[in-house]
């Protein structure tokens, strides 16, 4: 999707998120609605939007209760915005909030709205727990009964197994594999070594810890539930400590709890607008959202790696923009797993992959990894599935705004279902 071809520019005014927390820790009793509302409120307070009507608010969650069928609208009603502000629930797995930002951006670019919010939230701690479908069918059969006997007879089929709860599982329905197991297959196919994964994870923690110490996140993160900082960042970790961890997804595998993203609770949001709307309110413009692209891969047949869709989306987006992979000052690649990022980078450097799979005349080439995830990535900060895209977008916009020499940054987010969402942000 080409945001940049439209008439109006899409300004990124700024982002706000609550600290990201390891599952079952600080937000153990918080819901998606609680957390997303907190992120929206933080944004409203930061940019003095109390009582204002925005054109639209798009956000979502990957793991939702049935009670959250209108999640975003409910959060808007508690955010401090004018209650006439609409709300839209979206879901594209881990790419949800970046996709929401592209959606809001396109509405702004096309002249449909002047300003809007994109965001996302997810809670592992408050995951929905349901009873087996067989029990549901029994209940419905009884409910449909017209006579006393028809309502009673289904209950004779009640068995103890009906009371065994069913927990949500982060596995692919088509393959039955978890994301970690799928990433193990990718790491093996691309020959990604454990040592390199651990070093990548170590760097993520070091950069995130340094960013917190330097105060970079102070105006991007608002306190929530007594938590002031991301509680997964390990400033004291070392490659030696990471090397001692056992494989998490295969006995002889290379992916561990240390070089994989932790299960995380959290929420984030970004304010987007026309430059004129921002200027009228004396609000900053940190950067501009210029291009976006979504893609998918054929992972279910085993032909392609589950998390390789960004390898397609990025070159397609580069063609739209007339850019090369090296034309960026900063790169933000979502760290679902250290191995996944390393697979993606290796694929772009491979002439064979770029020619035979992507249909390119030559390899995209490498990037300067000193410019990659410079304030830490998902391995260190955490990954509340739907919240990661706008966490990255807000971070990158601030990075560009605080570096007068920079021109643009690239965002790449892989997602469950063999999906990928990417974007280009410019000063």
The residues annotated with a catalytic role in the active site are: 94, 383, 414
Q: Retrieve residue 340's tokens.
A: 């996944």
DSSP 363-401: ------GGGBSTT--HHHH-B-GGGHHHHHHHHHHHHHH
φ/ψ of residue 165, rounded to 5: -65, 150
**Are the C-beta atoms of residues 420 and 295 closer than 8 Å to each other?**
yes
CA-based nearest residue to 326, from 362, 302, 355: 362
Taking every pair of C-alpha atoms in the chain, what is the biggest distance, in angstroms? Answer: 78
Contacts of 376 (CB under 8 A, 6+ apart): 204, 205, 206, 207, 208, 209, 210, 211, 233
CA-based nearest residue to 287, from 270, 310, 299: 270
**Are the C-beta atoms of residues 122 and 61 closer than 8 Å to each other?**
yes
SS3 270: strand
**Are the C-beta atoms of residues 119 and 270 closer than 8 Å to each other?**
yes
Phi-psi region of 337 (alpha: psi -120 to 50; beta: other; left: phi over 0): beta
φ/ψ of residue 273, rounded to 5: -165, 170
Contacts of 215 (CB under 8 A, 6+ apart): none
CA-based nearest residue to 330, from 223, 244, 207, 225: 207
Q: Give the span between the Cα atoms of 62 and 90, in whole angstroms.
A: 9
**Are the C-beta atoms of residues 100 and 393 closer than 8 Å to each other?**
no
Q: Give the span between the Cα atoms of 52 and 37, in whole angstroms.
A: 16
**Are the C-beta atoms of residues 399 and 409 closer than 8 Å to each other?**
yes
**Are the C-beta atoms of residues 14 and 271 closer than 8 Å to each other?**
yes
Looking from the CA of 214 toward its CB, the CA atoms found within 13 Å total 10
């Amino acid at each position: 999707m080409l945001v940049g071809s439209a008439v109006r520019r899409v300004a990124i005014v700024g982002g706000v998120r609550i600290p990201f927390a390891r599952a079952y820790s600080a937000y153990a009793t918080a819901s998606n609605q609680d957390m997303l509302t907190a992120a929206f409120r933080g944004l409203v307070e930061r940019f003095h939007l109390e009582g204002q009507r925005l054109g639209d608010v798009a956000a979502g969650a990957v793991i939702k209760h049935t009670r959250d069928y209108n999640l975003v609208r409910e959060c808007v009603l508690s955010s401090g915005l004018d209650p006439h502000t609409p709300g839209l629930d979206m879901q594209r797995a881990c790419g949800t909030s970046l996709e929401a930002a592209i959606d809001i951006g396109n509405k702004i670019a096309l002249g449909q709205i002047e300003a809007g919010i994109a965001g996302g939230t997810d809670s592992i701690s408050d995951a929905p727990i349901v009873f087996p479908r067989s029990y549901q069918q029994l209940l419905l059969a009884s409910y449909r009964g017209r006579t006393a006997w028809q309502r009673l007879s289904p209950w004779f089929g009640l068995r103890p197994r009906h009371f065994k709860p069913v927990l949500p599982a982060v596995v692919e329905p088509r393959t039955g594999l978890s994301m970690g197991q799928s990433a193990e297959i990718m790491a093996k196919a691309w020959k990604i070594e454990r040592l390199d994964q651990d070093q990548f994870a170590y760097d993520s923690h070091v950069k995130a810890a340094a960013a917190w110490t330097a105060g970079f996140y102070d105006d991007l993160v608002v306190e929530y539930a007594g938590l002031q900082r991301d509680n997964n960042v390990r400033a004291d970790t070392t490659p030696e400590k990471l090397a001692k961890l056992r494989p998490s997804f295969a006995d002889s595998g290379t992916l561990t709890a240390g070089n994989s993203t932790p299960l995380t609770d959290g929420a984030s949001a970004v304010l987007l607008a026309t430059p004129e709307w921002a200027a009228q309110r004396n609000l900053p413009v940190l950067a501009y959202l210029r291009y976006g692209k979504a893609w998918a891969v054929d992972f279910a047949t085993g032909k392609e790696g589950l998390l390789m869709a960004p390898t397609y989306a990025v070159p397609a987006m580069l063609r739209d923009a007339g850019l090369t992979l090296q034309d960026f000052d900063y790169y933000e690649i979502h760290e679902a797993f250290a191995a996944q990022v390393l697979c993606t980078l290796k694929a772009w450097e491979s002439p064979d992959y770029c020619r035979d799979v992507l249909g390119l005349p030559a390899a995209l080439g490498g990037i300067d990894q000193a410019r990659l995830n410079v304030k830490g990535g998902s391995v260190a900060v955490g990954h509340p599935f739907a919240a990661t895209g706008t966490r990255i977008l807000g971070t990158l916009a601030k990075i560009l705004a605080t570096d007068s020499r920079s021109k643009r940054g690239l965002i790449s987010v892989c997602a469950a279902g063999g999906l990928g969402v990417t974007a280009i942000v410019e000063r």
